[in-house]
Amino acid sequence: MSITRAFQKAKEQGNGALIGYITAGDPSPEQTPKIADALIRGGVDVLELGLPFSDPIADGPTIQAASIRALNAGTTPMRVLEIAGEIKKDHDVPVVVMTYYNPVFRIGLEKFTAAAKDHGVDGFIVPDLPVEEAQDYKKTANSHGLDTIFLAAPSTTNQRLTKIVNATTGFLYLVSHFGVTGARTSVEDSTVQLIKRVQPFTAGKVPLAVGFGISKPEHVRRVIQAGADAAIVGSAFINVIQKNSQNTQAILEELEATARALKAATKIV
């Protein structure tokens, strides 16, 4: 299923979409497909697989620690693509790889995107590649039928927002607040205002997904009611993995229950 179709399906069911982020290889490459199974059973519509990187500048302590655990477990960029392929064999759910540009550049843009396509990846998020420098990446990814998902932030001007919306495919990733990823206690009023500002730019063009700091059902409910098409949740899932690191069964059961509660909150009222 394409990313676009996943959003359409959620809408037809009267829901926003739930995008679930996990770091591939945390706590081990072998466990990641099982973790993906649990999230998908719980209702995740799109799975975002983080490619572990030694210098994840957009990520807070939770995802940084997950990256370190994954790297220590021997997770390589190509292993992440293999994991994506394992997940896609069992599930008709879009898989998006979130990676910094350095690993892509080192492996080679054509080689990496071709391998991603071969393993069933549907698209990429590259948070440190600005749209102004992304022509080669976008052209190569698009030639393999891969979506290129760009980010917009609270500081993005309307003029630049138009440029980003025109470049992004799959969805627009709206960063809900300044700073890095990580669970927060509440969704700020400024996030609601930001969604209301950006939504007219994306309406009828591309779905709007909101991430950074969204970790509870009430957060999901608030961003969907503000006009977002999807909520992106990462740190809440990674905290479950970290907390139960010695007990795989506990990880899987709690992840499924957490995803189910978050997905229920996407109901459009």
Q: Which of 45, 48, 254, 256 is catalytic?
A: 48
DSSP codes of every residue in 141-184 = HHHTT-EEE-EE-TT--HHHHHHHHHH--S-EEEE-SSS-----
Question: What pLDDT is attached to residue 185?
Answer: 53
Question: What pLDDT is attached to residue 176?
Answer: 85
Percentage, residues of the chain above pLDDT 90: 84
Q: Is the peptide bond before 27 cis (omega within 30 degrees of 0)?
A: yes
| Predicted TM-score (pTM) above 0.85 | yes
Domains observed in the chain: 3-264 (3.20.20.70)
Contacts of 61 (CB under 8 A, 6+ apart): 182
- In angstroms, the CA 169 to CA 247 distance is 38
pLDDT band at residue 198 under the 50/70/90 scheme: very high
State mean pLDDT over 75-81.
96
Question: What pLDDT is attached to residue 220?
Answer: 96
Query: CB atoms < 10 A from the CB of 253, how many?
Result: 14
pLDDT band at residue 218 under the 50/70/90 scheme: very high
Is-contact 222 16, C-beta < 8 A? no
Q: Which of 26, 59, 122, 254 is catalytic?
A: 59
| Per-residue pLDDT tens over the stretch 8-43 | 999 999 999 999 999 999 999 999 999 999 999 999
State mean pLDDT over 208-212.
95
Catalytic annotation present for 59: yes
Question: What pLDDT is attached to residue 182?
Answer: 47
* Alpha helix ranges (H) inside the chain: 3-12, 32-42, 61-72, 77-90, 101-107, 109-118, 135-143, 158-167, 189-202, 217-225, 235-243, 248-264
| Per-residue pLDDT tens over the stretch 224-267 | 999 999 999 998 999 999 999 889 999 999 999 999 999 999 99
| Per-residue pLDDT tens over the stretch 155-191 | 999 999 999 999 999 999 999 865 545 445 556 788 8
Catalytic annotation present for 128: no
- In angstroms, the CA 102 to CA 57 distance is 12
